[in-house]
Structure formats: C-alpha cells, structure tokens
Amino acid sequence: MNINRKALYNISKFEETINYTFENKSYILEALTHSSYSNENKNYKFNERLEFLGDSVLSIIISDYLFKTEKELPEGELTKLRANIVCEESLSEVASQINLGNFLLLGKGEEATGGRERISILADALEAVIAAVYLDGGIKEARDFIFKYMQEIIENSIKGKIFRDYKTYLQEVLQSKGEHNIWYKLIDEKGPDHNKRFVMEVGINDTVLGVGEGKSKKDAEQVAAKAALKTQNL
C-alpha cells in the first residue's frame, strides 16, 4: 500500500527512537496500527497478526537465553522466570520506556478513552513491533531489539528483584491465615477468537477478593491476585 506523508513521518520518528530503520515500512506501519484505527480507515491493516507472531518470537528468544544462562534451574522454575519477563506488565513498562503509545494509530474513541496509556494496548503493540523487526531484519535484529530494551527486566527477574507471581504469593498469605478454600473463576471473555481477553475473579469461600483481565486465563489470574493483594492490604 502507499503510505501517506503523515504516516511516514510518524514511522521515521519511531525509527529514530528505537535506532532501527525498516527496509519494509509496511511492517512497522501495521505494528503501530490499532484495530480501532483500522475500523475507521479500512485500507490500514491492524497489528493483531503481528502481535501473535511477536509473542512467539519473544518467547523463543527469552527461552533460549534462560536455557543457556540458567543451567541449574529446572523446567518449572524456567517457566516461571520466563512468564515474569514476558508478562503484560513487563511489556507495557518497556513500551512506556520507548514512548510507544505516542506513535500508535488509534481510532477516535480509543484515543478519547486513554488508549495510549492502556497497558494491554501497549503490551500488544510492543509484541507487534518485535514481530515487525523480526520480519524486516531477521532473528538477530529481533534479539538485539529485545535485549536492548528488556535487559534490565531480564536481569532483575533472574536476580529476584522483580516479583510478578502474585498468585503464589496470595495463596501463601491466605494459607498462613488459615484460608484454604481459594478459588479462581472465569467471569467473562472479550474480543474475537484470535485475540481474546479473559476476566477472572479470585476469592475465598463466598467472598470475591479481586478481579483481573489478561490475554490468557493465567495472566488474568495473576492480575486478579495482584488486585486482591492490594484491596485486602496483604
């Protein structure tokens, strides 16, 4: 597709920010285009397919790094560590660091309701950008991009300085108080099949302690557990 002058300027400013120049500008244009903008501008592809690919690229690069560097950790601990690094919260922090929200193409409604700061939109867009770099420059460029902006999160996660396993912590706290009937319940699913959002409740007995939303049921459980810890001052 022909990219208009305004979009090209937006792309060039983003390229300056991340210090990477795309050979194929259509990749990064798609990565920066939210579905709400595509709905209003039908000739623009939105970034959900790239988000799907970027999620896998990020996962294999982080998995490879942890496998090679953390030689003594068993599979279960490696899985927890990777989840800590690639979770929505971590990705949105990196997206904010590079001011990704400023470069997104959003529909008018999404713009008006604070879409540029929404954690889910930022995390999804970062995965789409990772995919765009991968398609444009290959796995090495994608790896360089990931480690340029995620190195601190990776190292701090390995050192235990970043803790995002709220579900385990909530369980430990509640059990220490004699509460053993802890449950999680799916209360809603949003979006199309290829890009669902899940809403989970966590509670004890008949009491709801927290509600959370995420791109998977596990992510939503973590967000719900975090909310429970906050609201219950645990």
Residues catalogued as catalytic: 55, 127
Strand pairing class (197-204; 207-214): antiparallel
Do 230 and 217 touch, CB atoms closer than 8 A? no
The CA distance from 20 to 26, in Å, is 14
**Structure token digits, residue 74:** 């068993």
The CA distance from 50 to 42, in Å, is 18
Strands ordered across the beta sheet of 182-190: 182-190, 197-204, 207-214
